[in-house]
Chains A and B, each alone.
Chain A
Amino acid sequence: MCKQSINMAFCPHYAAERLFAFLATATATVFISSFAAQAQDAGAFHEVETKYIFGNFTVGSSTGIEGEKAFEPETQANFGKGSGRYAVGQTVLEFEYTPTQYMQVTFGPSVSFYDIYNVPGLNNHNTAVWNGFEAEFRSVLIDRNPSPIAVTLSLEPEFHSRDETTGEKVVNYGLEAKLEADAELIKNRLFWGFNLLYEPETTRADLGQWQNESTFGISSALAFQIVPNVVVGADLWYLRHYDGAAFNSFTGDAVYLGPTFYWKIAPKVLMSAAWEAQIAGHQPGVSGALDLADFSQHRARLLLEFEF
């Protein structure tokens, strides 16, 4: 591992990881391009719900089917802070319900896992704890037909009793607001996804004072149904982090890139996964090609859905 103070553009370890991210994404893109060139096979490929086909960092616009209920354990893991050992994850045990043809509600408790050892600026933690509650309200803003692009608004209030990054005891409230858009480039085969993110948070640590922060993000993703019920793709995110709830003071930015995978295993069971590496980033006043203070070096998501 290279130390964070070294210019990471020249660090062989990070260069290899960025190369791997590029290769994995390029492979997915080649897959997409080659299959996209083929004629459509209307008989073998059917409609897919787009919500999870982009790997779930970028979320599609589908809001589900009226009356549908599902249990969805969703895990996000973050790895790498430059030096030491850093592996932090959070699993949300979500219940998803679609009350109308335009609206979806999701809520559930979360469990966090921390394996932090010798990371500069962070205390060591090796624990798993119940860590709060999350909910999500999604509503269709623009329907796909006749518009070629479908857009959904998502509001996700969150409460955490441990800091998601450091593992320290805090009181944290956040609201993740997202515009989730997608378009069908080739019917039932090739999809483009686009997300716009604004996430203000407020946190009270042991000192008793509230601190605000915010994250802005924009993403673009491609997903291709390679065989019926299996979708592969690539996802690109740009994230900016600020102190203050309204982009008051810029603290760093990051670009993530990685492959995505979606598999509808059975009519009522699906899996969505993504892995992304930070391929570029910076902190004001700090040399280096990544921002490992505000963001992790790698991040991954795995979601399973069991409809009932």
Chain B
Amino acid sequence: MQRLDDLEDLVQVNHLPLRPVRPLKNFWAFTLVGAAVLFASAHTNAQQSASVAISVKDHRFQPSQIRAPANRPISIRVKNLDSAPMEFESNSLRVEKVIAPGSDGVVNVRALAPGRYEFFDDFHQETRGVLVVE
């Protein structure tokens, strides 16, 4: 934020030697390095994943509670047995996937710590289930 008072000061003191500044170069260098660090910190995990299956019928998850081992990536195969599309979604698992009627889809989840993780059908919010990681 540039204030006019500062500009007036600059006019008065612009005879002073100024240190050469290359703000553009520094700015983009810092930004690119920062972005690279962020991308690098986006965790990758080469462990073999555990597989879990669940289906949706009459807008209910069957079973409504599924279990998976801790500290391993998880593949959840979701079968939609209803005649309407559903969207498997979870805030804590950070996944969502639209699954057409009568078809299935695989949702890949990162390795998780032990705990209970809610999921739901975003198109039918009353359709809810829990993944128990132990």
Contacts and interface: CB of A to CB of B under 8 A. Distances in A.
Interface of A: 46-49, 62-68, 98, 100-103, 121-123, 137-139, 141, 143-146, 153, 155, 157, 163-166, 168, 170, 172-173, 175, 177, 201-207, 209-213, 243, 267-268, 293-294
Q: Chain B, interface size: which category?
A: 35 or more
Contacts of A268: 122
Contacts of B23: 173, 202, 204, 210, 212
18 contacts: A47-B92, A49-B91, A64-B94, A101-B110, A102-B41, A139-B39, A139-B41, A139-B42, A146-B113, A163-B2, A175-B31, A202-B23, A205-B7, A209-B14, A210-B23, A212-B23, A243-B6, A267-B123
Contacts, number: 126
A122 B5 CA distance: 9
A206 B10 CA distance: 11
Interface of B: 1-7, 10-11, 14, 18, 21, 23-24, 27, 30-31, 34-35, 38-39, 41-43, 89-97, 109-110, 112-115, 118, 120, 122-123, 125, 128
A157 B27 contact: yes
A65 B91 contact: yes
Ranked nearest first, the 7 interchain pairs of A and B with the lowest CB-CB distance are A165-B1, A202-B23, A139-B38, A101-B94, A146-B113, A103-B42, A157-B31
A267 B11 contact: no
Contact of A267 (B3, B39, B122): B122
Secondary structure at the B interface, as helix, strand, loop or mixed, is mixed
A101 B92 CA distance: 10
Given A103-B39, A146-B115, A267-B125, A207 B3 contact: no
Contacts of A166: 1-4
B2 A48 contact: no
B91 A207 contact: no
Given A65-B94, A66-B94, A46 B2 contact: no
Contacts of B128: 46
A211 B2 contact: yes
A175 B92 CA distance: 29
B31 A202 contact: no
Given A47-B118, A101-B95, A202 B21 contact: yes
Nearest to B123: A267
Contacts of B110: 101-102
Nearest to A243: B6
